[in-house]
Amino acid sequence: MTLLVMGLSHHSASLDLIERAALDADGTRGLSRAVCSGDHVRESVVLSTCNRLEVYAAVNTFHGGVADVGEALAARVGVDLHDLTEHLYVHYSDRAVRHLFEVACGLDSMAVGESQILGQVRAALRRGQEDGTVGRLLDPLLQQSLRVGKRAHTETGLDRAGHSLVEAGLDGVEDVAVPLERARTLVVGAGAMSALAATTLQRLGAASITVANRTAARAQRLAEAVGGSWLTLDDADALVAALAEADVVLSCTGAVGHVLTEEQLLAARAGRGDAPQLVVDLGLPRDVAPEVGALPGVTLVSLRELGERLAGSGTGAEIDAAREIVVAEVDSWVAERRAAEVAPTVVALRSYARDVVTAEMDRLRARLGADLDPRTDAEVAQAVHRVVEKLLHTPTVQVKRLAATEPGGASYATALRELFGLDITDVATVSDVLRSVPPDSVTTTGAAPTATTEDES
């Protein structure tokens, strides 16, 4: 098995298409199970965020895996595969590992360096573990990606490299509404992004924070954490009153359909007069009806505008340092996996040598019988054992080194099996991952995926 990644993100598709493809937790589970039902896929996990939908799959073959994942992806998001293909990217083997590590570090995010993606990767892994769609390849690989992401944020200034989406949405708030220290704010939703919004508002000194959520308990918990007040979204009058009071509204619920409508904002505007209002929509699908942006006094900022604001933010020494960590971690992962692949051959070779020594010693004992005293028996057995160990030392060390460092290094293990007639079917494998293939990168922009070299990706 080896790793295949297929998906679409803000790099390859419009936010309108990403919005159409957005999946909730149940949707990602359904897609993951559908992918695993393919003939060429053994494991899968789905990562769905506000700016990406990706399938990570352990596949037996590249072309079969691409077909299985592509068909399941198109069926689940309700977009014709032909129309979807031109927006998809595909990575395979080493390049797929690198992509995952970059995603976990926040290097591939709209807000470069953001750390919320770590929680999203962790949640995707947990769903895969609960559903049994991750196994010997994806489970350790995703766990390693979390460690790489943490390392990048700990050892570099990556957190400072780019604004979070929340901070980007608040840029220039004093120009369109009021200075944040005088702003009354409303946070709609109580999930991870909404919690980030609330804590960011608290850190930046917002005058007041109100949390509105469908579930009262979660709204209350988040509000108490930031010293604010709360209400439930099903209390229509309270919601309109909170909207009327708020100078700044940040919404991110993940709900299907608009949570804040033109009618609600019109009613709220009646209570605000000419007072300006900033509404930041961080939801995907969108929480706020687009018509709200045309209302007098309202400035609506959506993910599309945030993407434009954040374009080109992935530069600087911090980004370079994080990328160096990713490259080193990918090299280490691939080397370990390739070395692990030859372990069954090494075990089989040593077992074969032990069997030969045992057989020859048994034949010697049978021929000499009583003439072979115990001390001589032990000395001969020890001498033969040392000879065999010396003969095996160099080839076993070299085959591990070559497998870990040379492209196609596993071919040396294959040669050993052929030369000695080794059967590894009964040998317990260390891992069944990342079969030795060239470190290909595959990127598609159009109907047919084409393989490229690492340097071309």
Looking at domain 165-310, does it have CATH number 3.40.50.720? Answer: yes
Instruction: Please state whether the peptide bond connecting residue 285 to the residue before it is cis, i.e. omega within 30 degrees of 0.
Output: yes
How many Cβ atoms sit within 10 Å of the Cβ of residue 318? 20
Q: List the domain boundaries for the chain.
A: 2-162+440-456, 165-310, 340-420
Closest by Cα among 186, 292, 274 to 230: 186
Q: Is pLDDT at 433 greater than 60 in this prediction?
A: no
Residues ≥6 apart with Cβ < 8 Å to 268: 240, 241, 243, 244
**Residue carrying structure tokens 């040998």:** 427
Number of H helices, E strands in the chain: 17, 12
421 DSSP 8-state letter? T
Closest by Cα among 148, 80, 86, 76 to 115: 148
Rounded Cα–Cα distance for residues 272 and 71 (Å): 50
Give the mean pLDDT of 49-72: 92
Contact 9, 18 (CB under 8 A): yes
Q: What are the pLDDT digits (tens) for 82-141?
A: 888 889 999 999 999 999 999 999 988 887 888 888 989 999 999 999 999 999 999 999
Determine the pLDDT at residue 447. Answer: 34
Q: Is pLDDT at 244 greater than 50 in this prediction?
A: yes
Q: Is 422 helix (H, G, I), strand (E, B) or coil?
A: coil
Amino acid present at 150: K
Give the distance from CA 133 to its chain's centroid. Answer: 15
106 — alpha (psi -120 to 50), left (phi > 0) or beta?
Answer: left
Q: What are the pLDDT digits (tens) for 282-317?
A: 887 789 999 999 999 999 998 888 877 776 555 567
Per the annotation, the verdict on 252 as an active-site residue is no
Determine the pLDDT at residue 96. Answer: 95
Q: Is pLDDT at 406 greater than 90 in this prediction?
A: no
User: Which residue in 36, 50, 105, 252 is the catalytic one?
Assistant: 50
The topology under which CATH files domain 2-162+440-456 is: Beta Polymerase; domain 2 (3.30.460)
Give the mean pLDDT of 191-216: 90
Give the distance from CA 310 to its chain's centroid. Answer: 21
